[in-house]
Amino acid sequence: MIAVAILAAGRGTRMKSHLPKVLHSLGGRSLVQRVLDSLSDIQPSRRLVIIGYGGDAVQDALQLEAGLEFVLQTEQLGTGHAAQQLMPHLQGFEGDLLILNGDVPLIRPQTIKLLLDTHQQAQNAATILTAHLPDPKGYGRVFCDGQNIVKQIVEDRDCTMAQKQNRRINAGIYCFRWSALAEILPQLQSNNDQQEYYLTDTVNYLEPVMAVDVDDYQEILGINDRKQLASAYGILQTRVKEDWMAAGVTMVDPDSITIDDAVQIAPDVIIEPQTHLRGKTSIQSGCRIGPGSLVENSQIGKNVTVLYSVVTDSVVQANSRVGPYAHLRGRVEVGETCRIGNFVELKNTTLGDRTNVAHLSYLGDATVGTQVNVGAGTITANYDGVNKHPTVIGDRSKTGSNSVLVAPITVGADVTVAAGSTLTDDVPDDSLAIARARQVVKPGWRLPEAKSDQQNKKPSD
Ligand code: UD1
Ligand code: CA
């Protein structure tokens, strides 16, 4: 049996943030969420999260994770003290406890599996994950004998100059035989530079403790400040983009592109420079996305182009063209073979197939049929200052340039709306609607003659 505990109670002072460190976002998922997701290759029977600073916020952020147990560490007196809080919860638990720092988010599921398998096969009291870092500054140094048996872990700030030369570091990911750990946890002392109870000191009391090296040291980089958060993002981006390129996606200037790791991209998609794909987005084959676009939580069908545009929480069906300079937001659904053109904003709007909104329009809370032509500058006036109202436009209708549809309003099918109309009433199918003042022409009309200079002078001149 395996239980997992994630240490997530610390404030993360070096982040200089009100947000608990483990809730900072890395490529669309919080640090602690990433650590939880790294458990996908093992089947823990229990998952405990130790919370403290900002505990309510951490609990809220993880509320969709079924079966998590939260353990409160009211004072943060160190990682060993955090582990001590588990004792009443795991009383009588017979099995292994995997402990992970909540601020080590790049760990791969296979690595955790390897740690656990090694621990169980060797029947160790504890097995810890280590890495050889080019720059080990800030990490606990791990001292082993020739057989990878751990003798001591010394925190960076407690190291002598000679000890600092050791580049083998503690990743903050451990497997313990719980019964052995529970016995010695109460014995921890806080006689170190930080006056904290260190989980790492448990290796002094347990036997045997084995170190397992991770192949790719980038997996175990801890996040303690914003600089490390940024470099972790860089590592993640390199991983994600290399995977997509290997899967058949073309990226023009990958350094200028960012892709969250929940994004799905089919082969033969071209991602152009300065393009950002975020959240639960999927892109079907044949699409060209960018340059200069942001697509977030959206589904893009086959052969769609999105040029210099922002698409959020929306669906765009096959063969449609979006942009340049379009903004789709708030559950927009664009049908097949549509054209959403220059300077168009769509909000909570559905467009049927082969409908065009090509220039300078705002459609909000609108349901538009198929083969509709929304003329340049057509606006739905959907907001009366208090409430939002719907607009419906039937199939094959055409709105003239600069029309205003004052919602709530229904324009039927096969309707033509004259340019410059302000429609306030419904329009039946098969009709022409004109709602504008008639043009007045006065033949022979001239400006009045200019008055003579003398008469024109003001008294002050
Ligand atoms: C810790 C390790 C260090 C290792 C490094 C790897 C100890 C003593 N040191 O150092 O050997 O190289 O991680 O990244 O363990 N936390 C609590 N309660 C507390 C204190 C911390 O839950 O009272 C949590 C934090 O939220 C964090 C994790 O434990 O997620 C690690 O704490 P942190 O203070 O960042 O430890 P490091 O100094 O990085
Ligand atoms: Ca840390």
Same domain, 165 and 292: no
Same domain, 334 and 299: yes
Phi and psi of 426, rounded to 5°?
-60, 155
Q: For residue 63, which amino acid is it?
A: Q
189 in any annotated domain: yes
Q: Which ligand is nearest to the CA of 35?
A: 1
448 in any annotated domain: no
154 in any annotated domain: yes
Same domain, 188 and 278: no
Per residue of the chain (461 residues), give pLDDT as tens: 999 999 999 989 999 999 999 999 998 899 999 999 999 999 999 999 999 999 999 999 999 999 999 999 999 999 999 999 999 999 999 999 999 999 999 999 999 999 999 999 999 999 999 999 999 999 999 999 999 999 999 999 999 999 999 999 999 999 999 999 999 999 999 999 999 999 999 999 999 999 999 999 999 999 999 999 999 999 999 999 999 999 999 999 999 999 998 999 999 999 999 999 999 999 999 999 999 999 999 999 999 999 999 999 999 999 999 999 999 999 999 999 999 999 999 999 999 999 999 999 999 999 999 999 999 999 999 999 999 999 999 999 999 999 999 999 999 999 999 999 999 999 999 999 999 999 999 999 999 988 776 666 666 65
Residue 239 structure tokens: 């991983």
Same domain, 374 and 341: yes
Q: Which CATH number fits the domain that encloses residue 173? A: 3.90.550.10
> Could you tell me if 335 and 319 are in contact, meaning their C-beta atoms sit under 8 angstroms apart?
no
Last-in-domain residue among 171, 203, 220: 220
Last-in-domain residue among 220, 253, 276: 220
Q: Which of 23, 79, 81, 202 to mutate to test the pocket of ligand 1 (most atoms within 8 A of CB)?
A: 79
What pairing do the DSSP bridges indicate for beta strands 250-251 and 270-271?
Answer: parallel
Atom of ligand 1 nearest to the CA of 198: 8
276 is catalytic: no
293: nearest Cα among 253, 323, 268:
323
C-alpha span between 111 and 216 (Å, rounded): 10
Same domain, 213 and 232: no
Same domain, 211 and 245: no
Same domain, 198 and 230: no
Which pLDDT score is estimated for 453? 66
185 in any annotated domain: yes
Residue 54 structure tokens: 């900002």
- Determine if ligand 1 sits within 6 Å of the CB of residue 395: no
Q: Which of 101, 167, 176, 181 to mutate to test the pocket of ligand 1 (most atoms within 8 A of CB)?
A: 101
Last-in-domain residue among 180, 205, 220: 220
DSSP for residue 219:
G
Q: Which ligand is nearest to the CA of 99?
A: 1
Same domain, 64 and 25: yes
Which pLDDT score is estimated for 387? 96
Same domain, 206 and 271: no
17 in any annotated domain: yes
- Determine if ligand 1 sits within 6 Å of the CB of residue 173: no
Q: How many domains does the chain have?
A: 2
Residue 438 structure tokens: 């008639």
Which pLDDT score is estimated for 211? 98
Same domain, 117 and 234: no
- Determine if ligand 1 sits within 6 Å of the CB of residue 30: no
Q: 């690595």: which residue's tokens?
A: 111
Q: Which CATH number fits the domain that encloses residue 281? A: 2.160.10.10
- Determine if ligand 1 sits within 6 Å of the CB of residue 105: no
253 in any annotated domain: yes
383 in any annotated domain: yes
Which pLDDT score is estimated for 28? 87
C-alpha span between 345 and 33 (Å, rounded): 34
Which pLDDT score is estimated for 179? 97
Q: Which domain holds residue 234?
A: 226-433
Same domain, 264 and 147: no
447 in any annotated domain: no
Same domain, 138 and 235: no
Minimal-distance CA residue to ligand 1 atom 35: 224
